Amino acid sequence: MSIIQKAMEKKSAAQNQKTAKKPSDNDLPENSELLSGQSFIQDLVHETDSANIQNLSQNVAQETFLKPVHQPVMSDGFPQAWRRPETIAIDSERLRDLGMVSHTDKQVNAGITNEFRAIKQKLFQTAFGSGVQFQQRANLLMVTSASPREGKTFTAVNLALSMASEKDKTVLLVDANVLKPGVSDMLGIQAQAGLIDFLQGSVTHLSEIIYPTSIPNLRLIPAGQPHHLSNELLASNKMEKLMNELAHRYPDRMVIFDCPPLLGIVETMTLSKLLGQALVVVEQDRSRLDDVEVAVSQLNKDMAIGFVMNKAVRNVFGQYRHGHEYGATEDQS
């Protein structure tokens, strides 16, 4: 008689002695099946030598209680057991009241909606059209400015909203202003785990920081918790691999990075080395031309660089459209 058969008989005899008092469901621990299997293995250990313990455990798992668990895989390749972020609800009426690109009514904020339509088409041409053969990671776009408070986050979010209305493309908005995040505040949502948490390892899988939103085709990566080594994290091999993943995993996806200002912020220069396009926001009657020239000179020379003029107000002669003006994207290589 084998060792397993002896142990099975021993266990059966012990259970027969307890038939007079059958336990109720409330008497059993929540993981009673697993515990009974572990107890069964322990009963066998003293009847065999240590060299056979591993093989014996595998046999017991196959024959009795410890059934192997197979995690189903979702359509995007991630195991279902990994916790996927919940959908973030974005208040479209709030965005409309802030004067942003509209998804619900073509007559609401029509001016700014049309302007961002024109801007995005130039960016799409570089990312997916003839320009893609000249640019590396052309679908990864940096939105920045020379100085703070020139409207870069407003521009980045509106671009994302406009691109999300496309029928054959998706957009991922990344809050890469890891020093002073602003995307979550502008969208009116709570801060979540994000980019820095993934880079430093407190979040294991990329799928845990890409949040679906209530706006079709729009995904979001928040900035995450501030970190004193933010530039080192952005310059790491892990960030390089992440950029390759974002650039090539979905060929129809545009990825917009809302970045810190250029002047005096080393993180922005670090990010520019990883991205294919840059959109520099210039505020009408505020940005100094010298500052803009110095800021642009710090960008990666291989990027395609364009400009948006923010807060350009139409005068009585109609010389400016309301909202934003776009300077044609140029290859700076």
- Predicted confidence at residue 284, as pLDDT, reads 84
57-95: per-residue pLDDT in tens?
444 333 333 333 333 444 444 344 445 578 999 998 899
Query: Residue 256 corresponds to which tokens in the numbers above?
Result: 């917009």
Burial class (CB in 10 A: 0-12, 13-18, 19+), 114: middle
Instruction: Check pLDDT > 60 for residue 255.
Output: yes
Angle between helices 32-45 and 53-63 (to 10 degrees): 140
Contact (Cβ atoms closer than 8 angstroms) between residue 198 and residue 206? yes
Q: Is the confidence at residue 327, as pLDDT, over 90?
A: no
Structure confidence by residue, pLDDT tens digits, 7-62: 556 656 655 554 544 444 343 333 333 333 333 333 333 433 444 434 434 443 33
Judged against a pLDDT cut of 70, whether residue 301 lies above it is answered with: yes
CA–CA dist 58, 119 (Å, integer): 61
- Of 102 and 172, which is predicted with more confidence? 172
Rounded-to-integer distance, Cα 260 and Cα 266, Å: 9
The residue written with tokens 């801060």 in the block is 191
pLDDT at residue number 197: 96
Q: How far apart are CA 256 and CA 152, in angstroms?
A: 11
Choose between 160 and 104: higher pLDDT.
Answer: 160
pTM for the whole structure: 0.71
Q: What is the mean pLDDT of residues 206-224?
A: 95
Helix (H, G, I), strand (E, B) or coil at 252: coil
Query: Residue 305 pLDDT more than 50?
Result: yes
Contact between 323 and 111 under an 8 Å Cβ cutoff? The reply is yes
Chain Cα centroid distance, residue 53: 44
**pLDDT value of residue 58:** 43
Q: What is the mean pLDDT of residues 106-123?
A: 88
Least confident of 27-36, 160-169, 200-209: 27-36
What percent of the chain is modeled with pLDDT above 90?
55
pLDDT score of 314: 54
